[in-house]
Amino acid sequence: MIQIEKLHKKFGKLTVLDGLDLTIQKGGIFAILGPNGSGKTTLIKCLLGMVVPDKGNIILDGKPILKQWKYRNDLNYLPQIANFPVNLSVKELIAMVKNLRPKASNEQELIDLFGLNPFMKKKLGNLSGGTKQKVNLVLTFMFDSDLIILDEPTTGLDPIALIYLKELIAKEKAKGKTILITTHIMSLVDQMADEIVFLLDGKIYFKGSVSALKTQTEQDSLEHAIAHLISKQYA
């Protein structure tokens, strides 16, 4: 379980997280949504230890994680942009990440799933954006961890790879994993999310199921429900 208490973060005079409180139960798919600048990325980076909040606390499985590092070995993270060393091959990158992380891995299963075998000896700088994203997914899912954080995981994926990704996420959920997803693809959220957390100006304006949001906003589609939330707050 993730428990976030009174989280505050400013960058200069800009308030990005404004006393945010959030509890996420263990197991399931949770979509963290909001327009650009709503605080999604900062919240994720606080969870990862990449940003230190000004005030507040983050508790993971009953233990505070701020200024700690060992907990990171029990989470997997897919960044939005796959910034890889351009002179390494795919095979070399995977080997390097395996050496850095002392956990068993199942990379070959994922390499086969996403059809990466023909690219293993190619330099990362020569790959297309979609192929890099597939490598990104291999690096994320090849370790067995209880918490999986996916930042815009569908970026650049072709329709077949997207199907495989959805199946992979569903498989991890069935194992009892907790999966956090940030995305602008509402069809993915509508299809897969157990709960939505909607952020605006560093605060949570909705937490609940897709169906509950549609009922609350009296909208038939998730896109219109989200648009209704945003327009209501800025009215």
Q: Are 115 and 137 in contact (CB under 8 A)?
A: no
Percent of the chain with pLDDT over 70: 99
> For the segment 137-164, what is each residue's pLDDT rounded down to a tens digit?
999 999 999 999 999 999 999 999 999 9
Q: Are 69 and 49 in contact (CB under 8 A)?
A: yes
Question: Torsion angle, CA of 178/180/186/192, rounded to 10 degrees?
Answer: -10
Ranking 23-27, 39-43, 67-71, 103-107 by mean pLDDT, the lowest is: 67-71
Which region, left, alpha or beta, applies to residue 192 given φ > 0 means left and ψ of -120 to 50 means alpha? alpha
**Domain 2-234 CATH superfamily:** P-loop containing nucleotide triphosphate hydrolases (3.40.50.300)
Average pLDDT in the 18-45 region?
Answer: 93
> For the segment 37-61, what is each residue's pLDDT rounded down to a tens digit?
889 999 999 999 999 999 999 999 9
pLDDT at position 37 is 84
Domain boundaries, the chain: 2-234
Q: How far is CA 77 from CA 180, 185, 215, 220, in A?
A: 10, 19, 32, 32
> For the segment 118-141, what is each residue's pLDDT rounded down to a tens digit?
999 999 999 999 999 999 999 999
pLDDT at position 234 is 63
